């Protein structure tokens, strides 16, 4: 029985025989959390057996988490982990943790089970296969109906970017570190933001703006350099709550004009970098917004802003107008991508 895929990813297999029963272990690992999932693939599809969330800093190593998670359970046949960072030769070292994850070490811990480690955006790309149509929200409806390459832009704790190469029939995900490319200002205000950031950082990348910290940075620029209103209750709330969440919530509820302006700028910058990605990847197959921020501020992502940005992006604006932009509403896409990669591609 064929496993239904929203996007035809180039997995090695998409079906299982009636007598097959493949157990996979998947993880979505970051500096803050480690989400683990044990799943089973059969002829009827994929079934989640066990899930658990861990606080990363509470554990001295990732192998401790694996040992706890599979205690009393049989070793999985295949393992795939999604990690926030560049994967080099099956290893990744975290910036905010003392951990280093090594696929060979994990394999030994699990009695020799094969292990794959994917960049979290590459895993998100594989996760497109597992989404349901209702888990997508179309922000910009393009005119193109011909399949082509796909881009994925994910703003969250950081800014992740990935692509899917279209070979004429199926899609091949690949990781990038495009979120760390140079921020490119368009207007006088954009230049002011660049200078504001250059006073803080040696290098100004898009991640400095298109992330949770980026929302705060935009708000700080507006209040410090443009003297926009800075309500005392916002400042107080930021002392005990995630500042980006405070700004986003106040903007969504229209309680703070400066917060509203900050999110509008964030939306505009997101559209600009989306246009950049579409042109670099020739992503005529669509651009997907992933990560934790877009779904939370979805009602403030303005289709008119996106249309204006696409139409003011130079000589290739006709190409940009053909591309549809979708928001991925299921934030478990990296985990789903890891599960499906382990079950269908290893």
Same structural domain, 92 and 179: no
Q: Is the pLDDT of residue 4 over 90?
A: no
Max mean pLDDT among 29-38, 78-87, 233-242 falls in 233-242
pLDDT of residue 139: 97
- Residue 56's CATH number: 3.30.420.40
pLDDT of residue 299: 96
17 within a domain of the structure (yes/no): no
Whether 290 and 153 have beta carbons less than 8 Å apart is answered as yes
For 119-128, what is the mean pLDDT?
Answer: 96
**79 three-class SS:** strand
The string of DSSP letters for 19-66 reads: T--EEEEEEEE-SSEEEEEEEEEETTEEEEEEEEEEEGGGSS-HHHHH
2 within a domain of the structure (yes/no): no
pLDDT of residue 96: 67
Same structural domain, 116 and 264: no
Q: Is the pLDDT of residue 122 over 80?
A: yes
Same structural domain, 112 and 184: no
Q: Is the pLDDT of residue 232 over 70?
A: yes
Same structural domain, 254 and 325: yes
Average model confidence (pLDDT) across the chain: 94
pLDDT of residue 93: 84
Identify the CA nearest to 175 among candidates 254, 56, 86.
86
- β-sheet with 115-119: strand ranges across: 45-55, 33-42, 22-29, 78-83, 115-119
pLDDT of residue 1: 64
Q: How many domains does the chain have?
A: 2
pLDDT of residue 3: 82
- Residue 216's CATH number: 3.40.367.20
What are 331's two structure tokens?
A: 């934030």
188 to each of 194, 238, 271, how far by Cα in Å? 10, 29, 18
Q: What is the pLDDT of residues 276-298, one digit of tens each?
A: 999 999 999 999 999 999 999 99
State which residues form the domain around 40.
Answer: 22-128+332-345
Q: Sorting pLDDT into bands at 50, 70 and 90, what band is 146?
A: confident
214 to each of 97, 176, 262, 290, 319, how far by Cα in Å? 22, 20, 10, 16, 29
Q: pLDDT above 70 covers what percent of the chain?
A: 99
8 within a domain of the structure (yes/no): no
Whether 275 and 318 have beta carbons less than 8 Å apart is answered as no
- Report the distance separating Cα 325 and Cα 219, nearest Å: 26
Same structural domain, 158 and 300: yes
Whether 170 and 306 have beta carbons less than 8 Å apart is answered as no
For 75-90, what is the mean pLDDT?
Answer: 92
161 within a domain of the structure (yes/no): yes
Q: Taken in order 196, 200, 203, 204, is the CA torsion positive or negative?
A: negative
104 within a domain of the structure (yes/no): yes
Same structural domain, 209 and 324: yes
Same structural domain, 228 and 312: yes
Q: Is the pLDDT of residue 31 over 80?
A: no
Q: Sorting pLDDT into bands at 50, 70 and 90, what band is 30?
A: confident
The string of DSSP letters for 217-260 reads: HHHHHHHHTS-----HHHHHHHTTS-HHHHHHHHHHTT--HHHH
9 within a domain of the structure (yes/no): no
- Report the distance separating Cα 160 and Cα 174, nearest Å: 12
307 within a domain of the structure (yes/no): yes
For 168-193, what is the mean pLDDT?
Answer: 96
CB-side exposure of 305: number of CA atoms within 13 Å?
17
Same structural domain, 169 and 301: yes
Q: Is the pLDDT of residue 244 over 90?
A: yes
For 47-75, what is the mean pLDDT?
Answer: 91
4 within a domain of the structure (yes/no): no
Same structural domain, 241 and 293: yes
Whether 209 and 189 have beta carbons less than 8 Å apart is answered as no
For 263-267, what is the mean pLDDT?
Answer: 98
Same structural domain, 229 and 291: yes
Same structural domain, 255 and 321: yes
Whether 214 and 179 have beta carbons less than 8 Å apart is answered as no
Same structural domain, 72 and 31: yes
């Amino acid at each position: 029985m064929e496993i239904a895929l929203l996007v035809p990813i180039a997995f090695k297999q998409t079906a299982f025989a009636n007598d097959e029963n493949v157990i996979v272990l998947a993880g979505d690992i970051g500096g803050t959390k480690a989400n683990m999932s044990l799943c089973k693939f059969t002829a009827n599809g994929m079934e989640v057996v066990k899930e658990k969330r861990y606080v990363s800093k509470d554990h001295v190593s990732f192998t401790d988490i694996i040992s706890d998670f599979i205690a009393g359970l049989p070793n999985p046949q295949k393992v795939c982990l999604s990690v926030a960072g560049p994967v080099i030769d099956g290893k990744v070292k975290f910036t905010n943790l003392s951990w280093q994850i090594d696929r060979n070490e994990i394999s030994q811990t699990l009695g020799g089970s094969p292990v794959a480690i994917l960049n979290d955006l590459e895993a998100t790309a594989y996760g497109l296969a597992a989404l349901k149509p209702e888990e997508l929200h179309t922000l910009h409806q393009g005119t193109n109906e011909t399949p082509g390459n796909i881009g994925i832009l994910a703003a969250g704790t950081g800014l992740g970017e990935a692509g899917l190469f279209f070979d004429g029939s199926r899609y091949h995900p690949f990781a990038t570190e495009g979120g760390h490319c140079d921020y490119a200002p368009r207007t006088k205000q954009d230049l002011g933001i660049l200078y504001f950031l250059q006073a803080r950082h040696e290098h100004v990348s898009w991640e400095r703006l298109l992330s949770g910290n980026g929302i705060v940075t935009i708000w700080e620029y507006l209040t410090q350099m443009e003297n926009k209103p800075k309500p005392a209750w916002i400042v107080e709330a930021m002392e005990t709550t995630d500042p980006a969440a405070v700004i986003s919530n106040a903007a969504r509820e229209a309680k703070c004009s400066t917060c509203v302006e900050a999110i509008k700028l964030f939306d505009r910058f997101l559209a600009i970098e989306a246009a950049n990605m579409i042109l670099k990847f020739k992503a005529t197959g669509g651009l997907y917004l992933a990560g934790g921020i877009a779904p939370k501020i979805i009602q403030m992502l303005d289709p008119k802003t996106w249309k204006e940005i696409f139409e003011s992006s130079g000589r290739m604006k006709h190409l940009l107008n053909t591309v549809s932009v979708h928001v991925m509403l299921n934030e478990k896409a990296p985990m789903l991508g890891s599960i499906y990669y382990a079950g269908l591609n290893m």
